[in-house]
């Protein structure tokens, strides 16, 4: 999917974004609203109001990639009650978000209470 060797930071747009916007519209949001460079080696992630779709803007050496994911039955656990226009998260939190977890998971696996040997 994404080459993590090329990605420097992952930025999430807080709140809902009109996902009718394409590459140019999302790049304007990154430049004007976030005050960041859309041509940098960052991923810029946007979510719709229903939290069932995301678009990810990524600059490659010769052009933009626009990744799009639509969930069929679930919702992304998009961060809420955070002030500002965007936040920076690490790649692990980004993967959690795409897999249906929150970006602030306390642990990835639940502890084993009792184990049976077969």
User: Would you say residue 115 lies in a domain?
Assistant: no
Does 106 score more than 70 pLDDT? no
Instruction: Read off the pLDDT of residues 3-57 as tens digits, 9 standing for 90 and up.
Output: 556 778 999 999 999 999 999 999 999 999 999 999 999 999 999 999 999 999 9
Q: Report the SS3 class of residue 57.
A: strand
C-alpha to C-alpha distance for 71 and 34, rounded to whole angstroms: 26
User: Would you say residue 26 lies in a domain?
Assistant: yes
> What percent helix, strand, coil does the chain show, rounded to 5?
15, 25, 60
User: Would you say residue 106 lies in a domain?
Assistant: no
Give the residue-averaged pLDDT of 61-73: 93
User: Would you say residue 51 lies in a domain?
Assistant: yes
Does 78 score more than 60 pLDDT? yes
Domain hosting residue 81, numbered range:
10-98
User: Would you say residue 56 lies in a domain?
Assistant: yes
Mean pLDDT lowest for which of 13-27, 68-82, 104-118?
104-118
8-state DSSP, 50: T
Does 112 score more than 70 pLDDT? no
Mean pLDDT of the chain, nearest integer: 88
User: Would you say residue 18 lies in a domain?
Assistant: yes
Tokens of 84: 């500002």
The pLDDT value given to residue 104: 79
The pLDDT value given to residue 108: 61
The pLDDT value given to residue 114: 74
C-alpha to C-alpha distance for 84 and 15, rounded to whole angstroms: 9
The pLDDT value given to residue 8: 85
- The count of domains in the chain is 1
């Amino acid at each position: 999917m994404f080459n993590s060797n090329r990605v420097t930071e992952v930025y999430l747009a807080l709140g809902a974004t009109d996902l009718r916007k394409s590459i140019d519209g999302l790049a304007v949001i990154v430049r004007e609203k976030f005050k960041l460079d859309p041509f940098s080696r960052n991923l810029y992630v946007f979510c719709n109001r229903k939290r069932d779709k995301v678009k990810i803007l990524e600059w490659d050496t010769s052009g933009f990639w626009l990744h799009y994911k639509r969930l069929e039955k679930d919702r992304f656990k998009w961060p809420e009650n955070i002030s500002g226009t965007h936040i920076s998260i690490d790649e692990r939190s980004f993967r959690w978000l795409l897999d249906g977890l929150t970006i602030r998971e306390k642990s990835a696996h639940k502890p084993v209470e009792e184990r049976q040997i077969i």
